[in-house]
Structure 1
């Protein structure tokens, strides 16, 4: 087992990893930018190393600084959390070259699944259902026209190196294709330094349902059932729940088996998520695979009583998994609390938190790194907390979330708490009748 793990991340996920490491008797090293000197992950780690200024490119994305921090503290493993370098093949390989265990996918695995066009081709070969569309990268606009005609409108153009909704364009008719092609490539080039595009059939009334998987170094994988992440704004998830209100036992078995098939086909090691689009007829199609821990992993932990971070560490240390699949015994909902103003088009709202009161009680979990007096820096993602409720039924979980949101007090900055409170009263949410288009018609009151 590892003696010391460096967490190459910040905020609540860094604190989350530190907690499990401490329970396992493993020493921890926090890294931080100058903007995060007062963050709780710095305070609760055994050691902390400043790796640069506030800009991510000069700190949390600076591979040489992170490797140096691991070497000077004699860390024998690095946990990347999510975001930043968690799905960076070069960083995974760099850790290997320096004889530091990367707690995540290998560089080869990330290369295979990180590029969406390659991932789709790999999943087709594995026999996992995929959305109809281009076979790999679209060569040029002439090829784009041909693929669109073969696929049939509406279609979705996607950046091959994309994420977070960047480089994506829905095209409903042929005359709009050229503008979508040009703007998607331009956005992708600016965001990722790569303008390669691929195309898929646009799934109407889609739900975004993902399956949590764990694979070990012996080629064995299992799943931990689904999470419904359909409530999104600009392809960014706002709230998640498990089990999905759209799910049936038959569909869960089919999707779970497909996710395990995907993981075992590529001999996946570590925690990962196989993401699917599910249409209104409950046909499901592979969308992408995230080769890391997800923001929303706590709801899975709550309904199957399973520490995913602990399992990541065990698998990285060479411990085999049990091989059995896990199914939800309860219902859990997560609301992402962001420092954003929901009444001003979710505009980011960094600043100083003057008052912070967290809700409590049975079935309430809060993952956060902030406190009264904490200064939210403008340099990073605006998520400051995750509020999770767990209960015997979905109705109870919603009612518990309403009560918890009413108790949650954060003053000094605007947050998305009012949005989530209104969401929990929305008739379509209460009935489970929502898709990825839900937010297009949602209006704050």
Structure 2
């Protein structure tokens, strides 16, 4: 494989290209008209225009991407994450055209892309699952019977869902009809599939996921866990590896369960098996993401492995170079997603131009991004600007590095989630590891940041006043004083 096309944009496209370049592989970028001057386009060896800004006219048009690969002679296509990365039809189209899809087989994507199908696939592998119904329903009366049987609170979830869409927590039977209708409506709008299922809502859950790698020879390993419990609107915003709460025994059990899930669907490549961990340290299978995760850098840092490199090698038919026994955790890594969102206004997207964009640097600091100073933030795509990652010999060091890195990350022109990331890292619950997926609901209020900003302004004003007063005390030359030098120079 001498040339690959990256069917994506932004930071993940650039991140994949950097590994490909390291491996001596040429890259092809695809782009929409608003991304014409984006860093990933300039970095690639070749670039092909797909169409107009809306993703439905560019990054989601499968025929155009296949044609771009053929025109440029790309032998492989890497989908990154988002867009077409978990589209079984696209994966099949790629392979049917004689191009290597750098990801799992279409069958695995299809099975694991549907939460009910995924549960059906793994049910014979003795993997713990949250109590609930394992079939799609739309009948509210049936839903009431199921809810009464498993007990409130319950969780309504879109079968084809993701990113928190089509998901509703229901506390009582009176709320069930309205919440179910909302979940179905949202699922139809987001995925074109209104099927939902019901399961017991795990109180005080932690979101733990296991990274797996599988080659074409039947070898499957796990690369330990990532903790992804700090979320807003059911979407992750802060991730770390390893988790601060897993014992070696639980880690081993979850890793083995993740390997079973991968084998259940004949998985190939890099994938992630997600679990819920309850307050008693019981874990339950949630779903499998059949792609590279946004938060993959934290795993790379604690294992000293390049996951994109592993994906490409597996796609080329190479054998995994290591066994499970040869893998170990080294140090601790933390990731904060930097979104162009306003944490003072319910994390609403912030539109504008990056008038100032200066990245933090230093040992243990990594920034994966796809923007430069002066670039506008397109309204058509996910508002994530970058991923800020820190690595230390232990969790405390990684956290302190992150706080310092956030302070040194200078972004002006749009609001970002950097202040929120700092709030998380400085909070006692996070620092002690005593938190769950309700962290934002339990601890965060925009007032916290408003007070902090007011305090910073007050301190700045006091410093400014002191400097001014100190300056007044200094020796001054009268403005109209005559100069002997002037008088005598002639």
TM class, shorter-length: over 0.9
Q: Is the 8 A contact 1:123 1:130 kept in 2?
A: no
1:364 maps to which residue?
365
- 1:376 — aligned with what? 377
Q: Which structure 2 segments of 5+ residues have no match? A: 449-490
The residue number in structure 2 matching 1:306 is 305
In 2, Cα distance between equivalents of 1:172 and 1:374: 45
Aligned position for 2:473: none
Give, in whole Å, the separation in 2 of the partners of 1:179 and 1:140.
12
Whole-angstrom distance in 1 between the partners of 2:382 and 2:157: 23
The DSSP-based 3-state class of the residue aligned with 2:391 is strand
| Distance (whole Å) between structure 2 residues aligned to residue 126 and residue 146 of structure 1 | 28
Deviation larger for 183-192 or 78-87: 183-192
The aligned residue for residue 86 of structure 1 is 85
* Greater CA drift, 275-284 or 105-114: 105-114
User: Is the Cα–Cα contact under 8 Å of residues 8 and 30 in structure 1 kept in the other structure?
Assistant: yes
Q: Equivalent residues in 2 for 1:50-129 (5 A)? A: 50-129=49-128
CA contact (8 A) 1:334 1:387 kept: yes
TM-score by length of 2: 0.89
For structure 1, the residue ranges without an aligned partner over 5 or more in a row are none
Which entry has the higher C-alpha Rg, 1 or 2? 2
Q: Is the 8 A contact 1:355 1:373 kept in 2?
A: yes
> CA offsets, 1:165-201, max 9 Å, x none?
1111111222211111111101111111110011111
Aligned to 1:426: 427
1:20-419 matches, within 5 Å, as 20-138=19-137, 140-321=139-320, 322-324=322-324, 326-419=327-420
Cα separation, 2, equivalents of 1:222 and 1:136: 30
Alpha-carbon shift at residue 139 of structure 1 (Å):
5.4
State how far apart, in whole Å, the 1-side matches of 2:329 and 2:230 are. Answer: 20
| Whole-angstrom CA distance in 1 between matches of 2:354 and 2:174 | 49
1-structure distance, mates of 2:40, 2:187: 33
Which secondary structure state, in structure 2, belongs to the residue aligned with residue 376 of structure 1?
Answer: coil
**CA offsets per residue over residues 395-445 of structure 1, 9 Å max, x none?**
111111111111110111111111111221111111111111111131132
Superposed CA deviations along residues 54-76 of structure 1, whole A, max 9, x for unmatched, are 10111000101111111111111
CA distance, structure 1, for counterparts of residue 307 and residue 414 of structure 2: 32
1:80-136 C-alpha deviation (Å, 9 max, x unpaired)? 000000000000010111011111111111111100011011121222111111122
Equivalent-residue separation in structure 2 for 1:348 and 1:385 (angstroms): 15
- The CA deviation string for residues 114-163 of structure 1, in whole angstroms up to 9 with x for no partner, is 00011011121222111111122125223222222222221101000111
SS in 2 for 1:41: helix
Structure 2 contact 107–265 (Cα < 8 Å) conserved: no
Cα distance in 1 for partners of 2:66, 2:415 equals 36
Partner SS, residue 210 of structure 1 = strand
Aligned with 2:426: secondary structure? coil
TM-score normalized with structure 1 length = 0.98
Q: CA separation in 2, counterparts of 1:351 and 1:52?
A: 23
SS at match of 1:286: strand
Match of 1:437 in 2: 438
Q: Distance in 2 between matches of 1:212 and 1:315?
A: 15
Q: Deviations over 1:289-334 (max 9, x none)?
A: 0000000000000011000000000001111113325332100000
**Which region of structure 1 is more displaced relative to structure 2, 10-19 or 183-192?**
183-192
Deviation at 1:360, TM superposition (A): 1.0
Q: CA RMSD in A?
A: 1.0
